Amino acid sequence: MSKDKEAAQLGHHHETGKTQDLARNTTPRSEKDGMTDNFGHLISDDLNSLKAGVRGPTLLEDHLLREKIHHFDHERIPERIVHARGSAAHGYFELKESLEQYTTAKVLTEVGKQTPVFTRFSTVAGFRGSPDTPRDVRGFSVRFYTDEGNWDIVGNNIPVFFIQDGIKFPDLVHALKPEPHHEMPQAASAHDTFWDFISLTPESMHMVMWQMSDRTLPRYFDTMEGFGVHTFRLINAEGKSTFVKYHWKPVNGVHSLVWDESQKIMGKDPDFQRRSMWETIDQGGTYEWDLAVQLFSQEEADKWDFDILDATKIIPEELVPLKVIGRMVLNRNPDNFFAETEQVGYKPTNLVPGMDFTNDPLMQGRLFSYLDTQLIRLGGPNWQQLPINRPLVQVANNQRDGFMRQTIEPGRVSYHPASLDGGSPQEVPVSQGGFASYPEQISGEKLRKRAESFSDHYGQAKLFWNSLEPIERKHLCKAFQFELSKVETRHVRVAMIDQLEKIHPLLASQVAVALGEAPRADKVVKPGGTADCAEEMQLLAQAEAVTSASGGLTKAQGLSMEAQPPKGIRNRMVAILAADGVDGAQVDAIKQALEAEGAKGEVLGQHLGLLDGGAEAKKTISNSHMVLFDAVIVPGGAKSAAALLEDGDAHAYLLEAYKHGKPIAAYGEGQQVLQGSDLAALLGDQLGNAKSLGILSADAPAMAEFVQTLAQHRIWGRPQLKRISN
């Protein structure tokens, strides 16, 4: 074979005596080089999609948007590019209050009807094999199998998002994902590329405040909220449009992990949240949420100092109160993880008659992306026919063929209109239930530009900061300290401090001093300083910011988890430490009292099986860990107490529970374990004020008091112990 032919087969060609590899761009890129599309055309705007007017819908002719998202959607197979790590369950949604004056959608008008649902929870950044508990936004997607076709609310556990326009989504995820040169870090945002992008994208600052809060460390799936994120439309029988935002409110209240717990759980049980939901449902329990809506008109929206089409903004509940209309109950586990949880394909375009989209430019990009990504992930255009994706209603159209076709349509007609074989399926008039888009008046120049009403990037970030309790602000500061301390490039760290200063100087200062930079406020609590917890909390409590883009509000209800009232202990897990000789009657009484409240007590023994005294241990103290439980109890039994006093792992449970603000109880001879523990040695005289610290002890189980303490979720403000400080 000649050298010319060989080079041609290998994808090379001769140019001025040199061989160039056409499959690899060997020319180093320069900052002076212009940005192009994949065919070399220079791009003038990579920040905005092409819209009909600055607030109009995104146009289908936007070839740059379609090329960019098309490439992004097909970058990885077979798992999802984002939301790869997911867990799901079946259940139903029951409507409690009709929205008939707002919509014709039967799922929202037929009170008492139970509509089947399939709900998937996920992390965003990690691969399918990553752990459950990183600091990450959680996907919260619900499919309703309605009598009018599938309806999907494809949302998150955060009500806002990082970006305002869908054209920036590939850049966001590229920055967030493991860095491409070494594929690290996994399921984490604590690295240079993510924070470089954020520091240069001010519109992300509101979302980053939520991301760094405890909201992205949910305790269980059923202790986190869900949001539809975007503003949608409802359309009634008269054709009148009302804007709507969807909120899922957990019946068990909103609770979180702390960061130290989260990191330890990743190693102790990376399937922690998945396992908790599976076991709860497998044992006859349920996960439950109320569905609430915010309903408002265009006239109301026009009065606010923010844009309802901006996905980086919330509508505070003070402006539009939540209206609870129904409840979702998850009560059945999947039969096959791959066939259901992995193959389910949600689409924001799955609406039923009586609903419609808005011109939110982030949503408009999603309307294209979700359909496109399934083509490569699920093998072709017939993915809708997989059992988990099929609607309950009959499908009738003229689509045929394609990879993995699963239905067999008889006859010769696959077109419309047709007169042969009885004719093809016919359109259904709107008056008889056919889908119709709201006839919104649209006009404007074709352009790539962001609406001026989208320009306030800090006002609602300040609103979020103001609405947090001092302990939540402390956790927020510590989260930024942790994340940015992992960033190796100093100018990126400093740029982020500059951005945080625009939200509040104290926030910026708390982060700056941890990074070795000059503070931005007069007073600051330095890491390892002498200020006690009370002084720190007072400083944080006084740090109010002047808000904007918030409807005139300084604070907003619903943003703070700590400000929400306790809602019982349903589905909580309590560790019961035991050894041979434990008081089996006490253990039974404790477990029964917990079960009566919907919680579960798990006996952790020094060995598996039946313990002397009658209690059965299905887990051991050494093969489990306190971070996997919400509280710890040491029951009576003299022999058991003596053994636990000599068990270093048992002492570690008490220390760990104290550190993370969890209730601790000791009953009968179990009090000897508490009094002789490493925790008691560190607390010293402070143990005399134990009840105020959430440490309970009595001769017999005082379960009413324990339940009340556990319902608080955390006991904040415990004196810090130097050996186990937070």
What is the CATH classification number for the domain harbouring 521?
1.20.1370.20
> What are the structure tokens assigned to 89, written together?
């369950």
Concatenate the DSSP letters of all residues of 530-598 into one string. Answer: S--HHHHHHHHHT------SSTT-S--TTS-STTSPP---TT-EEEEE--TT--HHHHHHHHHHHHHTT
In angstroms, what CA-CA distances link 146 with 114, 208, 226, 382, 392? 9, 35, 20, 20, 7
Residue 15 has pLDDT above 50, yes or no: no
Rounded Cα distance, 272 and 274, in Å: 6
492 and 627 share one domain? no
| SS3 of the chain: helix, strand, coil, percent, to 5 | 35, 15, 50
**Nearest CA-CA partner of 524 in 515, 187, 361:** 515
* Mean pLDDT confidence for 703-720: 93
Q: Residue with structure tokens 């415990």?
A: 718
Residue 32 has pLDDT above 90, yes or no: no
Q: What is the pLDDT of residues 311-321, one digit of tens each?
A: 999 999 999 99
Rounded Cα distance, 548 and 384, in Å: 44
371 and 492 share one domain? no
Confidence of residue 530 (pLDDT cuts 50, 70, 90): very low
Residue pair 633/590 in contact (Cβ under 8 Å)? The answer is yes
> What are the structure tokens assigned to 563, written together?
């400000």
**Amino acid making up residue 615:** A
Domain that holds residue 299: 63-385
Q: What is the pLDDT of residues 277-304, one digit of tens each?
A: 999 999 999 999 999 999 999 999 999 9
Q: For the chain, how many helices (H) and strands (E)?
A: 21, 22
Give 156's strand partners: 139, 227
Q: What is the pLDDT of residues 172-189, one digit of tens each?
A: 999 999 999 999 999 999
**Helix or strand holding residue 674 (H, E):** helix 670-675
Concatenate the DSSP letters of all residues of 442-509 into one string. Answer: ----EEE---GGG---SHHHHHHHHHS-HHHHHHHHHHHHHHHHT---HHHHHHHHHHHHTT-HHHHH
Pairing of strands 631-634, 664-667: parallel
**Nearest CA-CA partner of 43 in 24, 15, 62:** 62
Confidence of residue 714 (pLDDT cuts 50, 70, 90): very high
Could you list the beta-strand ranges (E) of 346-470. 355-356, 446-448
Residue 3 lies in a domain: no
Q: What is the pLDDT of residues 427-463, one digit of tens each?
A: 888 888 888 899 999 999 999 999 999 999 999 999 9
Residue 368 lies in a domain: yes
Q: Quick one: angle between helices 584-596 and 703-711, nearest 10?
A: 50
Residue 175 lies in a domain: yes
Residue 523 lies in a domain: yes
Residue pair 329/91 in contact (Cβ under 8 Å)? The answer is yes
Rounded Cα distance, 713 and 445, in Å: 54
Residue pair 524/515 in contact (Cβ under 8 Å)? The answer is no
Q: What is the pLDDT of residues 121-154, one digit of tens each?
A: 999 999 999 999 999 999 999 999 999 999 999 9
What is the CATH classification number for the domain harbouring 693?
3.40.50.880
| Top-confidence residue, 241 or 691 | 241
Residue 10 has pLDDT above 50, yes or no: no
DSSP 8-state code for residue 618: S
Rounded Cα distance, 724 and 152, in Å: 45
**Amino acid making up residue 335:** D
Residue 88 lies in a domain: yes
Beta-carbon contacts of residue 51 (< 8 Å; ≥ 6 apart): 57, 58, 59, 359, 361, 444, 446, 447, 448, 449
> What are the structure tokens assigned to 548, written together?
């904007």
Residue 42 lies in a domain: no
527 and 596 share one domain? no
* Mean pLDDT confidence for 246-257: 97
pLDDT computed for residue 103 by the predictor: 97
625 and 709 share one domain? yes
Q: Is the peptide bond before 185 cis (omega within 30 degrees of 0)?
A: yes
Three-state DSSP class for 97? coil
Maximum average pLDDT range among 56-70, 200-214, 412-426, 518-532: 200-214
Number of structural domains the chain divides into:
3
Residue 9 lies in a domain: no
Confidence of residue 723 (pLDDT cuts 50, 70, 90): low
Q: Show which residues are catalytic.
A: 83, 156
Of 541, 559, 581, the residue at which a domain comes to its end is 541
577 and 527 share one domain? no
Exposed/middle/buried for 214, CB within 10 Å: 0-12, 13-18, 19+? Answer: buried
Rounded Cα distance, 546 and 505, in Å: 12
Residue 21 has pLDDT above 60, yes or no: no
Segment among 12-21, 591-600, 620-629 with least mean pLDDT? 12-21
586 and 473 share one domain? no
| Top-confidence residue, 324 or 725 | 324
* Mean pLDDT confidence for 685-713: 92
185 and 136 share one domain? yes
The phi, psi pair for 605, rounded to 5°, reads -100, 175
Q: What is the pLDDT of residues 631-683, one digit of tens each?
A: 999 999 999 999 999 999 999 999 999 999 999 999 999 999 999 999 999 99
462 and 366 share one domain? no
195 and 297 share one domain? yes
585 and 519 share one domain? no
Q: What's 241-290 look like in SS3?
A: EEEEEEEEEECCCCCECCHHHHHHHHHHCCCHHHHHHHHHHHCCCCEEEE
Segment among 13-27, 374-388, 583-597 with least mean pLDDT? 13-27
Residue 308 has pLDDT above 50, yes or no: yes
Q: What is the pLDDT of residues 97-128, one digit of tens each?
A: 999 999 999 999 999 999 999 999 999 999 99
What is the CATH classification number for the domain harbouring 330?
2.40.180.10
Of 366, 385, 404, the residue at which a domain comes to its end is 385
Rounded Cα distance, 142 and 428, in Å: 27
pLDDT computed for residue 112 by the predictor: 97
Pairing of strands 355-356, 232-235: antiparallel
Q: How many CB atoms lie within 10 A of CB 632?
A: 22
Three-state DSSP class for 43? coil
Concatenate the DSSP letters of all residues of 683-718 into one string. Answer: HGGGGGGGGGGTEEEESS--HHHHHHHHHT---TTP
Cα 154 to its chain centre, rounded Å, is: 11
619 and 534 share one domain? no
- N- to C-terminal Cα separation, the chain: 71
519 and 619 share one domain? no
Beta-carbon contacts of residue 227 (< 8 Å; ≥ 6 apart): 140, 155, 156, 157, 158, 159, 245, 246, 247, 248
> What are the structure tokens assigned to 393, written together?
């209603």
Residue 164 lies in a domain: yes
Q: How many CB atoms lie within 10 A of CB 347?
A: 20
Q: Quick one: angle between helices 63-73 and 361-377, nearest 10?
A: 40
pLDDT computed for residue 677 by the predictor: 95
